[in-house]
Structure 1
Amino acid sequence: MATWAPAKRDILDALAAEILHNYGKGRAIVAIDGIDGAGTTEFADDLATAFKRAGHAVFRASIADFQRPRADRYSRGQDSAEGYYRDTFNYSVFRRVLIEPFKMGGSTGFVTRAFDAVRDIQVEPKWLTGPADAILIVDGIFLNRPELRGIWNYSAWLEVPQDVAEQRLREGDGSSAIGERERTGMQLYRADAKPTERAMALIDNSDPEHPTRIFADSC
């Protein structure tokens, strides 16, 4: 017998409505967190579409576009899980060119992309402005870490089994992008930040076409 699953659009529209109920006025920043392969980018893109359906201004960014240079990312060694967790992203630049100016509102410009990790170079900044009432959605890994607490008005964690996440990465680029460095680095993150406890919403994204909300009393 077929099992009913909620429509993706219904989940996204409900999540957008919940956020707008509390943060419909002024500027607000939403984090979509999860492990590599959890589907944070697609989910965040689709959530942005839900905000647009609601008639609200929305901007998108990924923490992946705020990485540090390769030499810095691997300064502790190619296999260092500590380096993966501690050294991958440039949070000072992230705050300075995106988070802080976005929160200021008005005509202050902000940048949603600062670094090209593939070419290992900084990118020419593209300064954006937006209306007084706007949402910024940021996706990626490690977003509920201690250094970023206080940034988010709302955060969601996408729950996906490790094997499912790795299979998605293999299907996406032909090889698993998750090695022991990444697995252990994510374990460090979970122990240090407890992201599932910090997130305001838990989403089972095992089936990205039918994400479902997880509530504390059913965990």
Structure 2
Amino acid sequence: MRAEPISPERLAALVADRAADIAEGGAPWVRVAVDGAAAARPGALADALVDPLRLRGHPVLRVSAADFLRPASLRLEYGRHDADAFHDLWLDDGALLREVLAPLDPGGSGRVLPSLWDAAADRATRAPYTVLGPGGVLLLDGPLLLGRWLPFELTVHLTLGPAALARRTPADEQWTLPAFARYAADTRPAELADLAVKVDDPRHPALLTG
């Protein structure tokens, strides 16, 4: 793939424009996934999309995959540092589909649960449901989101080379690195995503094309 330099501001504008164009093309809602390891800061890009989309007249709902993890009894069944469990079991993709994504299918209710589980407290968040209005955009961030048959209208993958990922991952999270290596090799998210962006240096992202 070719890497074309792009500023963080232009990247946010590009993604926001893509999402808005889909909404303005007649989609009842637009579900956007910003996929990447925590070191790639997918949440920061998702946050940067909120204002541009609202300026174009689209309601926006921010959701994080971190609020849809399984309870600790399931998540940590194989220990606290099992990379395969992190890859396969941590995300409650069934709940994410049921509570967030499926209600935004064509003909859906638009009634979304913005968070389900507080992983730190290991209890339900008890968040109230919210309704995303017509033409609204859901912005979901998190790691390991692609290749799970989850429905999105637009997907963005933020990728780091192995050395950059290791360098920017905190010491207490280094055990997750094999999960991201497996994800890159098996799922090939940079090829699956509608937009892939190299963020070895977050100040100088590069759009991957070709």
> Shorter-normalised TM-score: what interval?
0.7 to 0.9
CA contact (8 A) 2:32 2:137 kept: yes
Which range moves more in the overlay, 45-54 or 205-214? 205-214
Q: Residues 155-166 of structure 1 correspond to what in structure 2 (within 5 A)?
A: 155-166=155-166
Pair 1:132-2:98 in alignment:
no
CA distance in 2, matches of 1:47, 1:75: 36
Please, what TM-score do these two structures have when normalized by structure 1?
A: 0.83
Which stretches of structure 1, 4 residues or longer, exceed 6 Å deviation after superposition? none
Q: Deviations over 1:110-141 (max 9, x none)?
A: 11110101111111122111221111011101
Q: Residues 111-122 of structure 1 correspond to what in structure 2 (within 5 A)?
A: 111-122=113-124
- Give the equivalent residue in structure 1 for 2:64: 62
Code of the aligned partner of 1:143:
L
- Give the equivalent residue in structure 1 for 2:177: 183
CA contact (8 A) 1:30 1:155 kept: yes
CA contact (8 A) 1:161 1:206 kept: yes
Please, what TM-score do these two structures have when normalized by structure 2?
A: 0.86
Q: CA deviation at 1:107?
A: 5.5
Q: CA deviation at 1:76?
A: 2.1
CA distance in 2, matches of 1:108, 1:29: 11
Q: Secondary structure, in 3 states, of the residue corresponding to 2:156?
A: strand
| Identical counterparts, % of pairs | 23
The 1:106/1:191 distance shift into structure 2, 3 A limit, reads closer
Gapped regions of structure 2 (runs ≥ 5):
none
Q: Residues 1-219 of structure 1 correspond to what in structure 2 (within 5 A)?
A: 6-24=6-24, 25=26, 26-103=28-105, 108-148=110-150, 151-170=151-170, 176-180=171-175, 182-216=176-210
C-alpha RMSD of the superposition: 2.1
- Give the equivalent residue in structure 2 for 1:173: none
CA distance in 2, matches of 1:19, 1:103: 16
CA contact (8 A) 1:111 1:128 kept: yes
Gapped regions of structure 1 (runs ≥ 5):
171-175
CA distance in 2, matches of 1:104, 1:52: 21
CA distance in 1, matches of 2:22, 2:197: 19
Q: CA deviation at 1:162?
A: 4.0
